[in-house]
Amino acid sequence: MKKTFKLEGLDCANCAAKIEKAINELDGVKNATVNFITTKMVIEADDEKMPAIIEAAEKTVKKIEPDTVMKKA
């Protein structure tokens, strides 16, 4: 399953790279990409683990970039 999100307020390329790396390390994630230019994040993961991954991804985004809001694209 693939889900796309918009990272509103993302204004740091280094933070985008940190978010991408952290989300790729989550259990069940097959691939995660963060495009700093479009502020889009795509997460590809196991269907049954997706709700937990989305929750963990939101926490990760808030921890790395507190002013960024993760929204469904």
pLDDT band at 73 (very low <50, low <70, confident <90, very high): confident
Q: What is the pTM of this model?
A: 0.94
Number of domains in the chain: 1
Cβ-proximal residues to 73 (8 Å cutoff; 6+ apart), any chain: 4, 5, 6, 40
The parent domain of residue 49 ranges over: 2-72
pLDDT tens for residues 6-48?
A: 999 999 999 999 999 999 999 999 999 999 999 999 999 999 9
Strand order from edge to edge, sheet including 40-45: 29-35, 40-45, 2-8, 69-72
Ranges of beta strands (E only) in the chain are: 2-8, 29-35, 40-45, 69-72
Domain containing 54 — which CATH number? 3.30.70.100
Q: Would the pLDDT of 56 be above 90? A: yes
Q: How far apart are the first and last CA of the chain?
A: 15
